[in-house]
Structure 1
Amino acid sequence: MGSLSIWHWLVVLVVVLLLFGRGKISDLMGDVAKGIKSFKKGLAEEDEAPKAPAEAAEPPRTLPHQATQSAEAEKKPV
């Protein structure tokens, strides 16, 4: 009783075709295909993008309150 026969699937297919029509389903599948193509194109463009050299990046700067806390910690005996 758990499995569906071919007749069940045919009835489901007929109901789907009646509800959506042949044109809407083909339009929907075309839109899905366009979405997949644009997604793949976006991934390919991301891989080809030139990356900035590491030496051009600025070194990290310390904030004044961080510098005073570390200096105070060095002065205090443990």
Structure 2
Amino acid sequence: MGSFSIWHWLIVLLIVVMVFGTKKLKNIGSDLGQAVKGFKDGMKDGAAPEQPATPPAAQVTQQAASEPSTTIDVQAKQKG
């Protein structure tokens, strides 16, 4: 009883098709395919070298010079 013959698998397949129907099995297959594709795309994105999150200092100073300042300077008092 270790291995099943082709007839056992065909009977199991027939029962599964009768229980779930072909449309349901098609939807399950396409959902599984999309999940595998999404996983592969995620693995590709994770393997790509990451870009630095902060721009270089030269670009920051150029942006600061071109944009008006919206910060307010406040002197903090220290408790002594």
Give TM-score, length-normalised by structure 1. 0.55
Instruction: Give the unaligned 5+ runs of structure 1.
Output: 53-78
The residue aligned with 1:34 is 34
Distance, in Å, in 2 between the alignment partners of 1:17 and 1:26 is: 11
The sequence identity of aligned pairs, in percent, is: 38
Question: Match for residue 44 of structure 2?
Answer: 44
Aligned-partner residue type, residue 10 of structure 2: L
Deviation at 1:34, TM superposition (A): 0.4
Take 2:21 and 2:48, find their aligned partners in 1: how far apart are those partners?
A: 41
Spell out the pairing of 1:9-24 with structure 2 (5 A cutoff): 9-24=9-24
If each structure's helix is expressed as a fraction of its own residues, which one has the higher value? Answer: 1
| Deviation digits for residues 43-76 of structure 1 (CA, Å, limit 9, x no counterpart) | 1111224165xxxxxxxxxxxxxxxxxxxxxxxx
Structure-2-length-normalised TM-score? 0.54
After superposition, the CA RMSD in angstroms is 1.8
Aligned-partner Cα distance in 2 for 1:39–1:5: 34
How many residue pairs align between the two structures?
52
The list of structure 1 runs, each at least 4 consecutive aligned residues, that deviate by more than 3 angstroms after superposition, is none
